[in-house]
Structure 1
């Protein structure tokens, strides 16, 4: 075979190879998983302190079935707090993973039989937010960096939709049933996700702050219907964006077994982070609050008698409290607390405290006397003066009655 013939055959063979490879390349391109869009279907409106659930949808899947979806959700963290993510109708049975940044979401099917089929449209996951912004705030919300993979592990991207969430000023005023328990309350009443009775919540407030190990964390509240002003502590762990919720109550919390001691100015529930973030993850927690001078005057109590009480392990504890300032309408205070739970701002006078201690001590003495009387009775009945035990008991009960009358 001459060199010329070899060249001709080699050229023909090259053309055949290229011709065969072209369809493969075309098929690879055509096999990239696709969809018309992934994102929000519409704009949303919400009220201050609301909860908001937003479905993320996919439309018209092609070159599937889809087995993995990854994306980042973008929104303004000062307006919305992402509480949780759950699967949608098309991903029921899938696994959801969120990275260190909760914005990053990955959905994976454990079984190819529940992949998202070609032509499918519907909800792929749901975002559950708490509204932390104020009336007039707005935020865009959309997925980006979307990546999808099909059963052949061929990846594709898709157009995302950009929608908005607007915060309205529709706070519902809820009058307090007992003015002596505080200034009265307004708006934004919430539901009992914390276990508190819905009807007992006068208003609900939330703030979000970054929590990092070794750093001081501070939450501030400035609404008129809440007298809690600040919550601060030093974090011992990395928690990322962490929400603090405060429920201003109309009456004693449904989570406690008894009313706080003294004259109650305001009942509160304070929750920081989730159940995994507790007092072991923080140090030096301090709560700042205020009390109306008008309330102090109307209830005939001293500014120095104001204390913050915390309910924990079945009992109320008076926390170290000091006055740190005042203006024309309020005294401001700070209290050190070992943790967060139901609280009450109360006025406890020294007279009330000493009387309570005296009564408690007298009750203990009565128990000791009765025990001693019983022991002596078993040792010698012959030396017992007739009727002496009855007289002794009546005398002690009379003293208790006199002390109680004096206290009142």
Structure 2
């Protein structure tokens, strides 16, 4: 018996919305496939979720469609615009969004560094999906890679195009985790980890705080002004923190600079000695 795809389902859409796709027969709750002798054979059934929206293209911070399942095939781009071949893993969660509620999307898949996407709902919006695309490399939607040592590149899309705006959501935040062994191997501390967001053709570093430190992972949280491509990266000592540029354009660290206290003491000693010498000269003249 050879493995393979038995059937592919194609359908015409009648309107926008999200619906689960569950396969079953009319007698029992599971699908049965039989051989030519009418004997049931073992199969694997993959259900899914289908999301149909308008034809508007993704705008900054939003998505135009969402899907389910793992990484895609090589070549081409998905509904979000990301290259199929660059998607390592995709995670989708759905919540019923009601005005005034604190909405939290939780993700626990081992391959997903994003653990929560949170915001406060400003309006009743119904069922809203959040999609995480974990990427193999820098997103195809950005021009340049972010600064620092990159741990993971991800795309985060909340709702349809035009949903993730201040009129609909407030205080959007992203919770994520970094493998402790990766940090140890690369010689970075939890204080070096930052979440970077790509928007308006440039990267910006978001304020990031540690929420929990465990043996396997360190957990972080960052507030974000919107949803788009992100990168989790390490910035040891903020790359140039504590350095100063000298008069010749060279960089010097605090260890290279003279000790201010010692300099002040030397200046005082020289001043006292000068006054003492001047006093002796005047006494000789008199």
Q: Shorter-chain-normalised TM-score: which range?
A: 0.5 to 0.7
Tell whether the 8 Å contact from 1:45 to 1:167 is kept in structure 2 after alignment.
Answer: no
The equivalent residue for 2:211 is: 324
Of Structure 1 and Structure 2, the greater helix share is in 1
Equivalent in the alignment of 2:120: 234
Give the Cα–Cα distance (whole angstroms) in 2 for the partners of residues 210 and 351 of structure 1: 39
Q: Does the CA contact (< 8 Å) of 1:45 and 1:168 recur in 2?
A: no
Aligned residue number for residue 232 of structure 2: 345
1:276 deviation in Å? Answer: 2.3
1:343-400 per-residue CA deviation (whole Å, 9 max, x = no partner) reads 0111112251437x867xx9xx9xxxxxxxxxxxxxxxxxxxxxxxxxxxxx65xx37
CA contact (8 A) 1:221 1:230 kept: yes
Question: 1:216 Cα shift?
Answer: 1.3
Is 1:304 paired with 2:182? no
SS state at 2:191 partner: helix
Q: In 2 relative to 1, CA 294–285 (structure 1 residues): closer, same or farther, beyond 3 Å?
A: same
> Does 1:168 pair with 2:50?
no
Distance 1:237 1:249, change over 3 A: same
Q: Is 1:220 paired with 2:98?
A: no
- Select 1:189's aligned residue among 65, 71, 76: 71
Q: How far has the Cα of 1:168 moved from its partner?
A: 2.8
> Runs of 4+ in structure 1 displaced over 2 angstroms?
52-55, 128-131, 138-142, 161-169
State the Cα deviation string for residues 238-296 of structure 1 (Å, max 9, x = none): 21111111100011111111111111000000000001202221101111111001100
Where in structure 1 are there 5+ consecutive unaligned residues?
A: 1-43, 47-51, 56-84, 87-95, 103-127, 132-137, 143-160, 170-186, 366-394
The residue that corresponds to 1:22 in the other structure is: none
Corresponding position: 1:263 with 2:132: no
Larger Rg: 1 or 2? 1
For 2:25 and 2:224, the matched residues in 1 are separated by 38
Aligned residues: 211
Residues 310/304 of structure 1: CA separation in 2 closer, same or farther (3 Å cut): same
Alpha-carbon RMSD across the aligned residues, in angstroms, is 3.5
CA offset at residue 335 of structure 1?
Answer: 0.9
Distance between the aligned counterparts of 1:347 and 1:188, measured in 2? 27
| Higher relative contact order structure (alpha carbons within 8 Å, sequence separation ≥ 6) | 2
Shift of 1:304: 1.1
Cα distance, 1:275–1:263 mapped onto 2, change above 3 Å: same
